[in-house]
């Protein structure tokens, strides 16, 4: 999952995101989006309290949205592929937008809850950062079609009614990653003046490896996050890394004027 995106920022982070349609029933709970109601409470996985029909609709919609895009996918195509009727989809999700919000909101809230819990743990800040990265990777491995759909929302054209939530979640993930890097700064592992570049580097690594997995079938096995953090910190924390970044003066080659 991208730890921030071209659309992420502070918009919506004051706890007053755009209110969704309250007709979203058994799967989508609009209160989960409001930090004043549920700031850090655990969010169940999609489908935990849903009927079999709702779970199948979610699975099929994630696949179709990921493959064809939100706008190009019709309700008719979703219900035919899921083997249900339109009234069944409308009962559980209200409309197509409600279905898309269910695919976005519940898993993203869960990912944010996981990231918050990791940061609140005592101990080694390097391990916490590695576990944060692993959390993003696990999000993609868990349901790749859903992750592809979410990536499409972050990096593709705006989907009606979803842009404020995409900005909300992208901004929150970026804040959590920044907090993790600040932990490295406080521990004396990363110099304060490099913190911003370290955040950008980790964001880039997460995006590169997850998109390579989702769209190219590359490996995204457990333990990769730790290896990436260790390699990254060799550059950001060591004197050699500092020398590479500042570009030391080089001696002119023999014979040069």
List the single range of 10-24, 137-151, 206-220 with lowest mean pLDDT. 10-24
- What is the predicted pLDDT for the residue at 13? 28
Distances (CA, A) of 241 to 70, 187, 225, 245, 246: 43, 18, 20, 6, 9
How many Cβ atoms are within 10 Å of 38's Cβ, its own excluded?
Answer: 15
Cβ burial of 219 (10 Å; 0-12, 13-18, 19+) is: exposed
pLDDT tens profile 122-133: 989 999 999 999
- What is the predicted pLDDT for the residue at 236? 78
Which residue would you say has higher pLDDT here, 121 or 246?
121
d(CA 208, CA 3): 11
Element (H, E) at 246: helix 239-246
3-state secondary structure of 110: helix
- What is the predicted pLDDT for the residue at 151? 92
pLDDT band, very low/low/confident/very high, at 247 (cuts 50, 70, 90)? very low
Cα torsion through 22, 93, 154, 160, rounded to 10: -70
Cβ atoms 32, 46 nearer than 8 A: no
How many Cβ atoms are within 10 Å of 50's Cβ, its own excluded?
Answer: 21
List the single range of 51-65, 98-112, 144-158 with lowest mean pLDDT. 144-158
pLDDT tens profile 66-106: 999 898 999 999 999 999 999 999 999 999 999 998 999 99
Residue 14 has pLDDT above 50, yes or no: no
- What is the predicted pLDDT for the residue at 235? 82
Residue 113 has pLDDT above 70, yes or no: yes
Cα torsion through 96, 215, 206, 108, rounded to 10: 20
pTM of the model: 0.73
What CATH number belongs to 30-240?
1.10.357.10
Distances (CA, A) of 210 to 13, 117, 130, 150, 156: 25, 22, 15, 12, 16
Residue 246 has pLDDT above 50, yes or no: no
pLDDT tens profile 33-60: 333 333 333 333 444 445 889 999 999 9
- What is the predicted pLDDT for the residue at 123? 86
């Amino acid at each position: 999952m991208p730890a921030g995106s071209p659309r992420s920022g502070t918009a919506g982070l004051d706890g007053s995101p755009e209110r969704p349609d309250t007709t979203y029933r058994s799967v989508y709970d609009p209160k989960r989006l409001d930090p004043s109601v549920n700031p850090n409470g655990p969010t169940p996985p999609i489908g935990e309290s849903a009927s079999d029909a709702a779970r199948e609709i979610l699975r099929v919609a994630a696949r179709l949205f990921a493959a064809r895009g939100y706008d190009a996918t019709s309700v008719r195509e979703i219900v035919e592929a899921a083997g249900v009727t339109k009234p069944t989809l409308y009962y559980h999700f209200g409309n197509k937008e409600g279905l898309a919000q269910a695919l976005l909101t519940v898993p993203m809230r869960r990912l944010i809850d996981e990231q918050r819990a990791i940061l609140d743990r005592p101990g080694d800040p390097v391990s916490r950062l590695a576990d944060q990265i692993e959390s993003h990777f696990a999000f993609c491995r868990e349901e790749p079609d859903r992750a592809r759909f979410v990536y499409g929302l972050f990096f593709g054209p705006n989907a009606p009614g979803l842009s404020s939530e995409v900005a909300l979640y992208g901004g929150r993930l970026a804040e959590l990653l920044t907090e993790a890097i600040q932990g490295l700064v406080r521990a004396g592992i990363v110099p304060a003046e490099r913190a911003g570049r370290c955040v950008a580097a980790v964001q880039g690594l997460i995006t590169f490896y997850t998109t390579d997995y989702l769209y190219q079938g590359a490996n995204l096995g457990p333990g990769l996050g730790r290896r990436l953090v260790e390699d990254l910190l060799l550059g950001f924390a060591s004197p050699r890394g500092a020398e590479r970044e500042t570009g030391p003066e080089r001696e002119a080659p023999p014979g040069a004027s």
